[in-house]
Amino acid sequence: MQSEKDNLKNENNKLASQLREVRQELNDEKAKRSKSEEYIHKYQELTTTNSTLTKEKQNLSEKLNESNVLLQTTKEKLNKQTTDNNLMKKKLESLESSKKGSSSAKILCVLFAILTVIFAILFFTGNNDGADSSELVSKQKEIDRLNNHVSDLNYEISHNSSDLSAKQNEIDQLKNQIATSSTTISATACNIFYKGLQNPLSVAASGYNNINVSATGGATITKGKVAGYEGEYIVTVPAGSQTKEVTINVSADGKSVGHQTFKVMNVPSPIITIGGYKSGDDVPKAAIKGSPRLDAVLEGGFFPFKDVKYTVTSFTYMKEVSGVTSSQVVSGNTIPGDILSDISKKASGSSISFIGIKVSSPSGPRNAPGFAARLK
């Protein structure tokens, strides 16, 4: 009786430990998603900054082009003015050559007129050159300032691009983690696969199509529902399998998007009852006579699957006659007539004992604890 209680206590402790593991996994998953969202936010900020700098560089480039056009126009005006001056000089030389034979008065008049024209030309030319030169210097300074600003922007963009490239690599890694973390794989009954049972499984891969789900460890996975549970897949680990873990792999659109490993266990050991009485109880002879068989049932405690069937396949009855103990092996779960006769002859307060009880279970053959009781 104490051994059975210890076994049940150990089972409950295991299940409690597994529940703690599941909670820790959920907390880790939440922390991972929070970190992923933080990096994505930083990436978006860097992308926005880089876009703003690129637009500013483009605006400055347009201004620089406008200044270059203005500079070119100013240079053309200066070249034209120089050409006009050269033509005027040639005309003056021609006049001087043609007027050599004229009188001194005419020469003086002509020279005076020419000098007047030259003075006027030089005056206006000098003023225009000064204005154009001043404008040119001003524009050149503006162009130099813009070029320096563009250089600064290019450096800043290059520096940010380097940071952005490093962040992009980190973001790509996080995207893979996010893709994995956004894939939810959960055993909806409990975080364990039990051999021989239909274990319900839920799989969700957000944003993906053509989802494919597979299992390792000799387990099979099919689409379907287990009554009373969420989940669109059923995982079955064969009874008698020696595997201790099964990994569920999820792929979508030709690439892996997640996996999850689950422990594999046998179903819990049952207890033996006769006529509804458990080992250690005081059992009326009438109860044994009214229900002459050994039943294997799953005692209370936490176990997510209902209606798990066990069947006693053999047992040994300990018989005592005149102080001599002997054993009788019985196949099946029914108490035969000779054992019932022996029990009926026993006095109230006498003990009966069944040992070596073997049962069939969804996970395969199991040994069940013995049954010992006192008659009343």
**33-181 against 183-265: fold identical:** no
Q: Quick one: pLDDT at residue 105?
A: 46
Q: Quick one: pLDDT at residue 206?
A: 78
| Alpha carbon separation from 24 to 15, 31, 266, 335 (Å, rounded) | 14, 11, 24, 49
Q: Quick one: pLDDT at residue 122?
A: 46
Encode burial over 120-138: b for 16+ CB neighbours within 10 A, e otherwise.
eeeeeeeeebeeeeeebee
Q: Quick one: pLDDT at residue 83?
A: 73
Q: What is the mean pLDDT of each run of 10 residues along the chain (376 residues)?
A: 64 67 66 64 63 67 68 67 65 56 46 51 46 61 68 66 66 56 82 94 85 94 91 94 94 88 94 95 95 91 83 94 87 96 92 96 94 94
- Alpha-carbon gap, residue 57 to 149, rounded angstroms: 9
Write down the domain spans for the chain.
33-181, 183-265, 269-375
Which overall architecture, per CATH, does domain 183-265 show?
Answer: Sandwich (2.60)
Topology of the domain covering 33-181? Helix Hairpins (1.10.287)
Q: Quick one: pLDDT at residue 314?
A: 97
- Phi/psi at 291 (5° precision): -140, 75
